[in-house]
Every structure is written in C-alpha cells, then in structure tokens.
Structure 1
Amino acid sequence: MSLIDQYSRNINYLRISVTDRCDLRCVYCMKEKMEFLPKKEILTLEEIEKMCDNFIEMGVKKIRLTGGEPLVRRDIIKLIKRLNSKKNITNLKEITLTTNGSLLEKYAYDLKKGGVDRINVSLDTINHIKYKKITRFGNLDKVILGIKEAKKNNITVKINTVVLKNFNEDELEKL
C-alpha cells in the first residue's frame, strides 16, 4: 500500500511535530504568553513511533521531526535512535530535524550518533539586536556555536529564514 496525493504523486515524506513547546517566542510564531497543549494531548514516544511505522509501511522514506522545538523534548534522542534502527530493515532512508538551534551545541553529537542525516536551523538574522527582537530572549551566539558543532559532527546544515520586510531582508546573502 502506498500513499498517493491528489495529483497522483507518491507521498514518501512525513513531517511530524513532536511537541508544541519551544524555548523561544519568535514574534511571527508564538504569542508572548502562549498556552501549550496539556501534556496528555502530546503524543508519547511509543505513539509517535507507531505512527511512523505505519507511514513507513505505506512508503514513507524520509521523516522530518519538528516542533515547536523538538530538542526540548526529553526523549527526542531515544525517538531518533528508534527510527534510525528501521533504516536498514524498512523503506526509511533519511531522518531530518528542524530546530531553532538554541540547544544544538548540546545535542549535535547525540543527533549524529542517533541517526539524524540533516538538520534545518531556523535563523532569521545574524544581528544580535534583531535576533533578540525576533526571538524575544534568544541567544544568537548559542545558535552559531550549535551550527558549528553540527558541522563538526558531519551533519549537513541548511538554514531556514523568515524574511521580514524592513527588518532582515538586507541580510539574506549573509545568511
């Protein structure tokens, strides 16, 4: 059984939000006093794994873990390891992660060792003042160190940027 979209194309990519929580409060993403889902409404590790298994059986080859910020989830490395164990015995070929990068320095080694193939880092500016305005209290230096640590661990890094008119469009080439 395979998944087919409305244009008769095979669907082989699953993007799953593993949490709604985030350690930043980017102005375009979250309200300042965001109300998160009750923990009982967040899928457990086992539920996420079972869902991924079902999609892999239907032809999914790539899984992207997102959030919120997936690295705030305490069992994220365990989930990645479980998914990685399926690569040689199923259709699964790639595990990727989208992150704001704030915890990347801490987790880069474990992400690589666990089986992450690539990461996307959401980074909207390399200006410290603008970064604080966008994230409300984030630390740009931690993100830069995290990107360097990911590269040091041979993780392919792609930068995602939200372009904001009259704010950061002048930085696109630098990013």
Structure 2
Amino acid sequence: MLEDAMGRRFYYLRLSVTDVCNFRCTYCLPDGYQGKPDQSFLTLPEIRQTLTAFAALGTEKVRITGGEPGLRRDLPEIISAAAQTPGIRTVALTTNGYRLAERIARWRQAGLNQLNVSIDSLDPAEFHSITGHNRLPEILRGLEAALAEGVSVKVNAVLMRGLPDQLASFLDWLKTTPVTLRFIEVMETGDHPAFFREHHISGQTVKQQLLAAGWQAVQRRRDAGPAEEFWHPDYQGRIGLIMPYSQDFCSSCNRLRISSTGKLHLCLFSDGGLDVRPWMQPHVATTELQDRLTALLRHKAPSHLLHDGQTGGTQNLSIIGG
C-alpha cells in the first residue's frame, strides 16, 4: 500500500499524458501553449508499466489528464490500458470538451467510467472571453452525448471574482441536469500571481450559501477527489467545492501525480517532479518501480505552502493537469 509518513493512503493516481492544450484559459494559458509539442511524452508501454505498479500498491482510480489528453491520437488505447489493469476500478478523464460528442462513444467503449469537462461559464460570451474559443454549444452537446453513453459526468468551473452570475446560472442549470458541478478556487501559480490576487474568492462563501439554501453534504469515498460535495432534493445535479486554501485541506490527500514526461509529483505545488521514468521502461521489473515509488513517498510534506504564497514548481496548471 502506498502510505506516507503521516499515515495517508493513496488510492488515486492523476496521470498526465501531455502538457499540450489547444485552449487559452485566462487562469492557466492566457497566451496559449508555449512548450514543445514534439517533446517525448510517456509512451503507451511506459504508461502500462506505471499503471501496473500503482495498482499493485493499492491504486484503485486513475484520472487521465493533460494539458488536453484528447490531443493524443492513442487516447483510446491509454484508456483501455487503464481499464484492463487488474485492481483499477475507475478510469476517469479530464478534458476541455474539444470534439467530445464525436469521441465519447469510443472512449466509453475503451473503458471510461467518469468524465470531467471544464466549463467556467454557461454564458457564451463569458466562455469565449475565458477560454479563447466559441465552443460552448459544442461542449454542451458533448456532455449530453456522454450522459447518453452512461458515463458519470462532472463539470469543473473555476470560481472567479468578476463573474457575478456564475453561481446563479449554474444552479438554474443543475435543476434539470444530472451532473456534478465542481467549483474550484483560483490557485496561485508561478506564471499568474496577479490573476490570483484579482480573482480569488474563497469557496467557503459559496458553501455557506448552499447550506443556508438546504443543500446537504455528501459522504466522501476513499478514492474521491478533493471536493466537498452537496446535494439537494429539488435538484438533479450536485455541487462540489475544491478549496485548497481551507484549513486541513491536505489532511485527506489521497492522490499522487505522474507528469507527461515521467516525473512523480508528491503534491500539485511541490518544488518539482521526481524522475521515475527510468523505472517505467517495460524491460525493468515492475517491482523496481514499486520500490522507487514507495521510497520517494516518504518525502511527501504534510501540506502545501500556498498560504505563504509558495507555489513550488507549478508555473501553470497544464503542466500536470491540476
């Protein structure tokens, strides 16, 4: 079992397969992707080796992230590799929804269970302003297609000051839409400290509004993400809040991250990744990668240092998928 010095157990792996993204979200890549799209991202055999090692150490859930993972042509094969790994019960994917409607059936057939789609506003003009794309109707059609395929759907929205109708419009939508909307607090990154200072709002303000309106807390599963979720009998959808600046946020941490270039990140905001790619090679015994992961996990810190303005090596969220 993957367990750190604080006794936290890690059932959940976030696996980045690329850091390339074709959107230009204001809080992440306002100038577009500036990296090297031809760099050597993890290969399918390396991914299989990694999945096998993590599953043998108790990992039950894998989330495939980017950048935008849909930009990899072999994404169905990656999903299938995760779904076919003994011990992996849930295969999830985070996407910006690009060409989702035409792709979701193949992803579902490959073994996808859960889908997270980023939609920061239901207003087409605001959506365009945030992402640089006029694709909101297309993405909403993709959500409908995913629900029709029987995929569990969540929508990620970054909670931002300056979008006064953000909560109200999503609440109206959730009356009849059976998805979980997750508001994510703006997090400070190395590239965007000014954006954080201008737009950050505490999710606690939304939590108090929800509780006052009769929303009730959902019990958290051991392989769940970091969101506090709430339900209401009058709504088909749910709301989740990801609040990394709240007290004791890190005490329930249950996830580790592998970057698209084979680095283990013990925290989203750690100083840098720990290179484990040499142990991901198919000719290396899986037990060697397991031993390496177990040894490195001893160095996981009790908490991030976001409260002190220390963002570690995370320059922007596309690097390891948030």
CA contact (8 A) 2:113 2:152 kept: yes
CA contact (8 A) 1:102 1:138 kept: no
Q: 1:4 and 2:33 equivalent?
A: no
Pair 1:133–1:49, CA change in 2 (3 A): same
Percent same amino acid at aligned positions?
32
Q: 1:113 and 2:106 equivalent?
A: no
**Distance in 1 of aligned mates of 2:51 and 2:38:** 20
Please give the per-residue CA displacement for 1:128-159, whole angstroms capped at 9, x wherever unaligned: 10011001124101100100000111111011
Partner of 1:173: 171
Please give the per-residue CA displacement for 1:76-100, whole angstroms capped at 9, x wherever unaligned: 00111122122xxx21111000111
Cα deviation, residue 57, structure 1:
1.3
Partner of 1:156: 152
**Distance in 2 of aligned mates of 1:172 and 1:6:** 40
Cα deviation, residue 23, structure 1:
2.0
Comparing 37-46 with 146-155, greater Cα deviation is found at 37-46
The CA RMSD over aligned residues, in Å, is: 1.5
What TM-score, normalized by structure 1, do the two folds share?
0.91
Q: 1:95 and 2:91 equivalent?
A: yes
Aligned residues: 171
Match of 2:121 among 99, 122, 125: 125
Q: Secondary structure at the match of 2:73?
A: coil
Query: In structure 2, what residue type is equivalent to 1:29?
Result: C
Q: Secondary structure at the match of 1:39?
A: coil
Gaps of 5+ in 1: none
Q: Secondary structure at the match of 1:41?
A: coil
Partner of 1:29: 28
Partner of 2:238: none
Pair 1:77–1:130, CA change in 2 (3 A): same
**Distance in 2 of aligned mates of 1:174 and 1:114:** 33
Partner of 2:42: 43
Cα deviation, residue 171, structure 1:
3.1
CA contact (8 A) 2:22 2:32 kept: no
What TM-score, normalized by structure 2, do the two folds share?
0.51
Partner of 1:66: 65
Cα deviation, residue 107, structure 1:
1.1
Cα deviation, residue 68, structure 1:
0.9
Q: 1:52 and 2:55 equivalent?
A: no
Pair 1:142–1:173, CA change in 2 (3 A): same
Pair 1:73–1:113, CA change in 2 (3 A): same
**Distance in 1 of aligned mates of 2:126 and 2:109:** 34
**Divergent runs of 4+, >4 A:** none
